[in-house]
């Protein structure tokens, strides 16, 4: 990698904080940009003791100008409760935030990484999902602010590459979990862990037969770095763990690992919630040498330990209403 500072937008978020941590560990200078819409300064508090790390409070929908050799764009609410809270702003973060990052990359001749999502595949009619699949997205549904926002961000990314020569890297990230997930994240792993640890009912939306593939955050960060530093591969490249589990299997595993006596209850499936989600990662394996190494059981064990530690001394607040099986 060239010398120079690395910018991580959304750097105080769940994935962003782990990426910043890894980059610092490898000897780089890192600036995290975050407005704390969903990120938290607590996620990077341990990094602020490092002189090579800087946290800049900034809204990426507004232009910014910092010299950089690498720009990782991870800024965007990524769970349904978060991105549906203000859907117009979610769309603008995806579109204007990506545009501002690309303009900065063009100005400084920096390499740009766009964190796209498996949500661009919508409720897929092809299973599992390869990069060649164009998706089945409802452009006017309640998830469209995120799904279509990310699809537009992909378009901007590739057009800046074709028309302006910006070096780009594009990853479609599948379900990721691990320490530092927000308690109100609203995704299925965090929902189930919080409910199990508090002895609340485990809420499954639908009949529990819908499937997901869960990638531990350390494995994801490894894939992100491999793609960013590949000399030629632009993407899109799927990054995720292809091991597939039903939502019910996940709930039962979390109950087992926590020793919880919570009951499993069933509620109606939310609108446009995908029935199946599993990445084809043949391209990532062949081109990047990417191979997820952390099993679901090991990853959940680490994540549950983190949730337990953070729950100590935290006032009890109901996890009711967290409605997503993403």
Residues acting as catalytic residues: 146
What does the alpha-carbon distance between residue 108 and residue 291 come to, in Å, rounded to a whole number?
32
What does the alpha-carbon distance between residue 216 and residue 177 come to, in Å, rounded to a whole number?
5
Contact predicate 306/257, CB 8 Å: no
The residue among 69, 61, 78, 75 whose CA lies nearest residue 32 is: 75
DSSP 26: T
DSSP 59: -
What does the alpha-carbon distance between residue 150 and residue 90 come to, in Å, rounded to a whole number?
10
DSSP 321: T
Using omega within 30 degrees of 0 as the cis cutoff, is the peptide bond preceding 128 cis?
A: yes
Q: What is the DSSP string of 95-160?
A: IIIHHHHHHHHHHHT-EEEEEEEGGGGBS-SSSSB-TT---B--TTSTTHHHHHHHHHHHHHHHHH
User: Nearest 5°: phi and psi at 208?
Assistant: 85, 0
Vertex 84 angle, CA 7 and 96, to 5°: 40
């Amino acid at each position: 990698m060239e010398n120079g500072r690395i910018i991580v937008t959304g750097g105080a978020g769940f994935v962003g904080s782990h990426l910043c941590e890894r980059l610092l560990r490898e000897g780089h200078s890192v600036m995290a940009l975050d407005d704390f819409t969903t990120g938290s300064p607590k996620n990077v508090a341990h990094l602020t003791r490092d002189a090579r790390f800087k946290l800049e409070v900034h809204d990426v929908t507004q232009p910014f100008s910092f010299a950089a050799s690498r720009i990782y764009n991870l800024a965007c609410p990524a769970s349904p409760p978060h991105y549906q809270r203000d859907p117009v702003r979610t769309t603008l973060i995806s579109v204007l935030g990506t545009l501002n990052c690309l303009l900065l990359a063009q100005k400084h001749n920096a390499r740009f990484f766009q964190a796209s999502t498996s949500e661009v595949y919508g409720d897929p009619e092809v299973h599992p999902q390869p990069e060649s699949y164009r998706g089945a997205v409802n452009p006017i549904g309640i998830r469209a602010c995120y799904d279509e926002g990310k699809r537009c961000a992909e378009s901007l990314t590739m057009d800046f590459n074709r028309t302006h020569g910006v070096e780009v890297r594009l990853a479609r990230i599948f379900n990721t979990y691990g320490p530092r997930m927000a308690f109100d994240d609203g995704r299925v792993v965090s929902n189930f862990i919080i409910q199990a640890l508090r002895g609340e009912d485990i809420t499954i939306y639908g009949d529990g037969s819908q499937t997901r593939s869960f990638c531990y955050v350390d494995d994801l960060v490894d894939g992100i770095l491999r793609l960013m530093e590949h000399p030629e591969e632009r993407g899109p490249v799927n990054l995720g763990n292809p091991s597939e589990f039903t939502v019910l299997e996940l709930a039962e595993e979390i109950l087992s690992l926590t020793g919880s006596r919570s009951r499993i209850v069933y509620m109606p499936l939310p609108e446009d919630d995908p029935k199946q989600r599993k990445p084809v990662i043949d391209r990532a394996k062949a081109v990047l040498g990417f191979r997820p190494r952390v099993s679901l059981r090991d990853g959940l064990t680490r994540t549950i330990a983190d949730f337990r530690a953070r729950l100590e001394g935290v006032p009890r607040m109901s996890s009711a209403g967290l409605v997503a099986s993403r």
